[in-house]
Amino acid sequence: MQTMRLPLDARHAADQFWLRVAEAGEQWLAEQGLASRDAVLLLPFAQHLAPARRAWMRLASWPPRIETTTSLASSLGPSPLSQGLQISFDAAIDALNARQLLAGQSWAETLRQRDPRAYQLALQHLVEAAQAFARHAQTLGPGGRAAFWPQARQALLNGGLNGGQPGGPAELEQALSLVALEWAASDGRVPAADALFGLRPSAWLLLRAGGADALSDALLREAEAQGVACLLLDADASLEELQAPPAALREAVCKDREELAQCTAAAVLAHLGRREAPVALIAQDRVLVRRVRALLERQAVRLGDETGWTLATTPEAAQLMGLLRAAQPRAAVDELLQWLKGALGRSLRERCGAAAVDQLEAQCRRLGWVQAGAVQADKLKGAAAGLWREAQEQLALLRAGTAQRSLAQWLEQLGWLLERLQASVWLDEQPGGRQLLAALWLQRAPWPDSAHELALQGTQLGSADFLAWVNETLEAQQFVPPLPQDLQVLITPLSRAMLRPFAAVVLPGADAQTLGAVAAGPVLLPDRLLRSLGMAEQATRRAQLAAGFVQLLRAPALTLLRCGFAGAEPLAASPLLERLAAARERAGLGPLPRWDDARPSRSLQAQPAHRAQALAAGQLPRRLSASGLDALRNCPYQFFAQQILGLREEDELSEELDKRDYGNWLHAVLYRFHQQRLAQGEEAGAPRMADLLAAAEAERARMGLSEAEFLPYIASFRRLLPRYLAWLDTHEAEGWRYQAGEEARECQPWTHQALRALSLQGRLDRRDGQPGRRLLLDYKTGSVEGLKAKLKRPLEDTQLAVYALLCAEDDAKDDVDGAEPAQLGAAYLALDDSKGLQMIEHPEVAQTAELLRQGLEADLAELQAGAALPALGEGKACGFCAVRGLCRKDDWWEGAV
């Protein structure tokens, strides 16, 4: 085989490269006396076909047949379809086939029962290894493939992944590797590439760029053995051989990733401003490139993307997964609402009214329904009730029937549901939706081959398994959007950017963490095994990356950008950049030139923001609670936003239970327990633990709280029970009796005429009494120390003082009846203290309540008259404020008054 080098020098810049390839190929064919029309020129990528054919046309001579191995094999005949359990190279289908292969293996069944997660991972690794074996075998040709299988089998058996020790830690990996090899070897299909070995052109010409290609090398070796003339046009060059790179090379070092994204966008825009288009944007760091793309789209740059992204991340896939999660037996209300608010719930919204979803969400939040199974349809009102019924009827398609169905049945039911929701049409109109329907075989029935049919018909899945299969299928598929017309910037991987007619190349992420790292091979196949079998190992992939990087130097302009720091730690340049810099030094070219920052700059004048304040003249609310008065005392602006404007922060429909859920439940349990004892009167007897436990279970069921998720709080409650009963015995022995709980009260304690319409309201946790005395109790599950600190300054406590004001009517009734007014007391009852229950009394609550009333009356009268409500919050009042964004405290000028 003859080899012709195409070195990296000024004569082989990208704009001249393809003409030099055509001239070299034509000259060699002429020297060999061979007809060019009967020769074949093989190129690395399909993107090289057009520039190569254009270059040959410039020579005004008959060109050879210019192809890639893939395009040439496809023109000779179709690839055979998979049969039975043969490898289909569809990751999701092959995973199902792998499950059937392992079904009869006792060791696999033991793993599945012992550790289902490890079993799923084993299936994934098995598919990776089997596909790697099959792909490599297809590149060897008929003769090489026949010799490969015995060699691989011997290497696995003798190499011994577990070192020949039965029961060793790698025994599972060895068993999976052997299954993967036999699975790939059992495939009796003849690959389409085998037809290439039967061709007899006048000559083979192969352009090598970006590293060796196993199939092309095997094809030329066999052709040369049969006496066919072969020419290798080797365009790969080593950085160590660098003489005079033609690229206008620049390097930029940025301080952080945001600056890196901005500089990358600026570099691209600078090229476009000089009419250097198209520009290749190398997608070495996908997260970074997404940010760069957003910056460029703001400038109306026409972008194309050859790399695409995972199909699972498209909006269409997110909509479908939302629908499937809503159909799960243990779906959360949030998941149901996510589906109803999306495009796949549009038909239901149109039938039930645009406000139905908001009404359903508001009612679920108000009633505390987190799980869809806890929703009580008879308590829903208005359009929300109709929407709930419609949604449940539609989701029944994916819930009805047996727990296990074949994959084909699941897909059939899903297809019917999409039709009923009028969603198939919408999905078919979206680029990502069409690919999604194809990936899930919703537009491919009947199945294209028996392997898919066997997997779809023979695999039995439960609801959760089907959801996982759909997710894995979408994760395995890549979505590549259509390229726009007359694009200016093309996002492409490094390997596909080489030797293409780009006016400039911009490569962000040229640091040691990003540029130089290569993907690992199959987990079950270590590098030493891959090396012994001639398969691509990590060193081979690293060499291919370096070869592709060198090819970028043929571009007219190349900008390399990187971060100098990863957080606070210095971040080195990529080893490829260091090799390039060393080669330039040896060639006397000096260090890498620095990129001139093309970002425009402008100076801004400081515009300090002053402390926010509002007016509420004549706008006081009709009702105020203790929390509202707390807001007034903490920060008047907070009071204005919450009480006068009526702004509220909606509670999250969180599936995870928290301390607040426990507190609400505990209040309800104690209320139910004491109300039952109050109703029984003298027959109630001594308080019993069984009654409290029964009340606890009844309230958990009523509130729809999951027994499993509530288990830690139940354990805490069981520790509380004996302490509470012991305290209650002592409390009742002192003569106190429960009188009422969860009691709503409202009063108008004001004497000022302007406040006559303002009511004070609240809900008392508990009211106890004994002759001549009354006691207000407020249950708390928080810190005892915090409560004690609060009551050390009684005038700072608003809650108990407001409760005392709400009970002032009781004193008035006593005066009317001629009875002596009862002495009023108030206390916090700390329920969650490890040392036992503690009752922390408020000293002189009646006097404190009167002082609070007088102060509030004066303040509220001033507000009614037009006094300002400045943002005066500090400390915790701001740290946990829901309206902090309105007053913009973080933007205040410190000198503002």
Q: DSSP for 142-204, please give it.
A: HHHHHHHHHHHHHHHHHH-TTTT-TT-TTHHHHHHHHHHHHHHHT-----GGGGGGG---SEE
CA angle, residues 707, 708, 713, in degrees to nearest 5:
75
Average pLDDT of span 165-182: 76
Neighbouring C-beta atoms of residue 62, cutoff 10 Å: 13
| C-beta neighbour count of 741 within 10 angstroms | 22
Query: What mean pLDDT do residues 553-562 have?
Result: 92
Six-digit token string for 666: 């505990």
Identify residue 402 by its one-letter amino acid code.
T
pLDDT in tens, 345-359: 999 998 888 889 999
Stated as kind and residue range, the H or E segment containing 51 is helix 49-58
Q: How many other C-beta atoms are found inside a 10 Å radius of the C-beta of residue 552?
A: 23
Instruction: Give Cα separations from 31 to 26, 28, 57, 229, 231 (angstroms).
Output: 9, 5, 20, 12, 12
Local confidence band at 165 (pLDDT 50, 70, 90 cut-offs): very low
CATH number of 248-307+483-586, picked from 3.30.565.10, 3.40.50.300, 3.40.50.720, 3.40.800.10: 3.40.50.300
Structure tokens at 376: 């009580």
Question: Does 653 score more than 70 pLDDT?
Answer: no
Q: What angle do CA 573, 574, 576 make, to 5 degrees?
A: 130
**Contact between 464 and 398 (Cβ < 8 Å):** no
Q: Strand 65-67 relative to strand 40-42: parallel, antiparallel, unpaired?
A: parallel
Q: For residue 227, what are the β-bridge partners? A: none
Average pLDDT value for residue range 256-281? 94
- Residue range 379-399: average pLDDT? 89
Percent of the chain with pLDDT strictly greater than 90? 32
- The answer to whether residue 772 scores a pLDDT higher than 60 is yes
Residue 774 φ then ψ, to 5°: -135, 145
Q: What is the mean pLDDT of residues 439-467?
A: 68
**What type of residue is 791?**
L
Average pLDDT over residues 226-249: 83
Q: Is the pLDDT of residue 385 over 80?
A: yes
Q: How many residues does the chain have?
A: 897
Least confident of 72-86, 453-467, 622-636: 453-467
Please determine whether the domains at 2-79+193-236 and 248-307+483-586 fall in the same fold group of CATH. yes
Q: How far apart are alpha carbons 689 and 77 in whole angstroms?
A: 81
Q: Half-sphere exposure of 116 toward its Cβ, with a 13 Å CA cutoff?
A: 1
Domain ranges, ordered by start, for the chain:
2-79+193-236, 91-190, 248-307+483-586, 312-479, 623-879
pLDDT recorded at residue 863: 87
Residue 398 corresponds to which tokens in the numbers above? 């994916």
Evaluate whether 454 touches 85 at the Cβ level (below 8 Å): yes
Q: Is the pLDDT of residue 710 over 70?
A: yes
pLDDT band of 896, cuts 50, 70, 90: very low
Sign of the torsion formed by the C-alpha atoms of 192, 193, 194 and 200 = positive
pLDDT score for 267: 95
Host H or E run for residue 478: strand 478-479
pLDDT at 705: 72
> Averaged over 756-771, what is the pLDDT?
91
User: What is the H or E stretch that residue 506 is in?
Assistant: strand 504-508
The percent helix, strand, coil of the chain (3-state, each to 5) is 55, 15, 35
Query: Does position 244 have pLDDT exceeding 70, yes or no?
Result: no
CB 123 within 8 A of CB 98: yes
Q: What is the rounded average pLDDT for all residues in the chain?
A: 85
158-192 burial: b if 16+ Cβ within 10 Å, else e: ebebeeeeeeeeebbbbbbbbbbbbbbbebeeebb
**Mean pLDDT within 286-297:** 93
Distance CA 422, CA 416 (A): 10
Residue 441 and residue 452: Cα distance in Å, rounded? 10
Q: How does pLDDT run across 828-884, given as a tens digit for each residue?
A: 999 876 667 889 999 888 899 999 889 988 988 888 888 888 888 887 888 888 888
Spell out the residues 6+ positions from residue 378 whose beta carbon is closer than 8 angstroms to its own: none
Longest dimension (CA), the chain: 130
Which residue, 306, 314, 277, is CA-closest to 289?
306
CA separation, residue 74 to residues 63, 169, 271, 555 (Å): 20, 44, 38, 31
Question: What is the reported pLDDT for 166?
Answer: 47
Q: Tokens 């509130």 sit at which residue?
A: 703
Q: Mean per-residue pLDDT for 810-820?
A: 58
More confident residue, 327 or 160: 327
Per the structure block, which two tokens stand in for 245? 């790179």
Model pLDDT, residue 486: 87
Kind of pairing between the strands at 838-841 and 823-830: antiparallel
Using pLDDT thresholds of 50, 70 and 90, give the confidence band for residue 29: very high
For residue 332, pLDDT over 80 is answered with yes
Buried b (16+ CB within 10 A) or exposed e, 750-766: beeeebeebbbbbebbb
- In angstroms, rounded to a whole number, what is the distance separating the alpha carbons of residues 276 and 502? 8
Find all residues with CB under 8 Å of 713, minimum gap 6, and list them: 657, 661, 662, 665
Tally Cβ neighbours within 10 Å of residue 301: 18
**Domain 2-79+193-236: CATH superfamily, name plus number:** P-loop containing nucleotide triphosphate hydrolases (3.40.50.300)
> pLDDT at position 897, please?
42
Place of tokens 């991987």: 493
**Distances in whole angstroms, Cα of residue 71 to Cα of each of 44, 192, 548:** 11, 11, 22
Q: How many CB atoms are located within 10 Å of the residue 726 CB?
A: 12
Beta bridge partners of 558: 249, 505
3-class SS of residue 469: helix
Q: Strand pairing partners for 768?
A: 738, 775
pLDDT, average across residues 280-308: 92
Return the pLDDT at 489.
95
Please name the residues in contact with 482: beta carbons below 8 A apart, sequence gap of 6 or more: 431
Count the alpha carbons within 13 Å of 717 in the hemisphere toward its beta carbon: 25
Residue 834's pLDDT is 64
> Would you state the pLDDT for residue 517?
79
- 723 contacts: CB under 8 Å, gap ≥ 6: 836, 837
Tokens 């047949």 correspond to 65
Identify the residue with better confidence: 665 or 82: 665
The first and second tokens of residue 890, run together, are: 């973080």
- Taking domain 623-879, whether its CATH number is 3.90.320 is answered by yes
CATH number corresponding to 312-479: 1.10.486
d(CA 632, CA 640): 8
* CA separation for the pair 171, 161 (Å, rounded): 7
Measured between alpha carbons, how far is 119 from 111 in angstroms, rounded to an integer?
6
pLDDT band at 15 (very low <50, low <70, confident <90, very high): low
Whether residue 446 contacts residue 401, with contact meaning beta carbons closer than 8 Å, is answered with no
SS3 state at 270: helix
Above pLDDT 70, what percent of the chain?
91
pLDDT of residue 440: 85
Angle of helix 91-102 relative to helix 463-476, nearest 10 degrees, comes to 130
873 near 638, Cβ under 8 Å? yes
Structure-block tokens of residue 630 = 């707390």
